[in-house]
Amino acid sequence: MLQPLIDHFESYLPLEEREKELLEGRVTERRIKRRQFLLQPSFPCKHYTFVVEGCFKMYGVDNKGNQHNILFAAENNWIADIGSFHSGKPSKLFIEAIEPSLILQIERQDLYFLYLNIPKLDRIFKVIIENKYVELQNRVLQNFGSTAQERYQAFLEQYPTLAMRLPNTQIASYLGITPEYLSEIRSDRK
């Protein structure tokens, strides 16, 4: 089941057979049920998670109990609370399965081992994290400088396959609007 991860890495740089073999002993496969958590507040994030099948959301909850989706991860994407993962400190975020999923996970000590023994993985993860940082930076700019319609259009560009997979409530939480207003935006686009 490691092949999707190898294909993902090789979309950046080719791996040698020895490097693929090193990966095998450091990656754990898991099946996750819908609404199962990979992370909850007060616990440290212990894994970088690669999504083979399914979809996840990362979110926080405000003082009023409202959920605020920060990002989504579907097939061939990564999800982790990077700050908690590297510091070992408790997270303030949730990572929850939106769909039944198949994932591959790498623990921190295994990732560091792989960085030392497969130096190109260090570079690959640097690019992955830089790309995620740019996505989040653009999202912050959109939140204070764009209309809801423009934010929805940006969502469609960033997550083209998720618009039909996610319920309005999840997308609306990500956009910072009500599900009813999202329905209006969607009907105006037709």
Average pLDDT over residues 54-82: 95
Name residues whose C-beta falls within 8 Å of residue 2's C-beta, 6 or more positions apart in sequence: 20, 23, 24, 27, 104
| pLDDT digit string, tens, across residues 117-156 | 999 999 999 999 999 999 889 888 888 889 999 999 999 9
User: 150 lies in a domain?
Assistant: no
SS3 71: strand
Is a pLDDT exceeding 70 seen at residue 55? Answer: yes
pLDDT of amino acid 41 = 97
Q: Structural domain tally of the chain? A: 1
For residue 190, what pLDDT is reported? 66
pLDDT over 90 at 180, yes or no? yes
Residue 30 lies in a domain: yes
Q: What is the pTM of this model?
A: 0.92
pLDDT at 189 over 80: no
Residue 68 domain-assigned?
Answer: yes
CA angle (6, 98, 49) in 5-degree steps: 30
The answer as to whether 153 is a domain residue is no
Task: State the pLDDT at residue 139.
Answer: 87
In a domain, residue 127? The reply is no
Positive/negative CA dihedral, 66, 70, 72, 73: negative
CB atoms within 10 A of CB 178: 14
Report the C-alpha gap between 73 and 58 in whole angstroms: 8
**Mean local confidence (pLDDT), 152-175:** 92
* CATH number of domain containing 100: 2.60.120.10
What is the pLDDT, as a whole number, of residue 1? 82
Q: Is residue 70 part of a domain?
A: yes
Note whether residue 61 is domain-resident.
yes
Domain membership flag for residue 79: yes
Tally the C-alpha atoms within 13 A of residue 186's C-alpha that lie toward its C-beta: 15
- Give the contacts of 178 (CB within 8 A, at least 6 positions apart): 172
Give the structural domain span for 39: 3-119
Residue 126 is predicted with a pLDDT of 95
The predicted-structure confidence for 69-113, as pLDDT tens digits, reads as follows 999 999 999 999 999 999 999 999 999 999 999 999 999 999 999
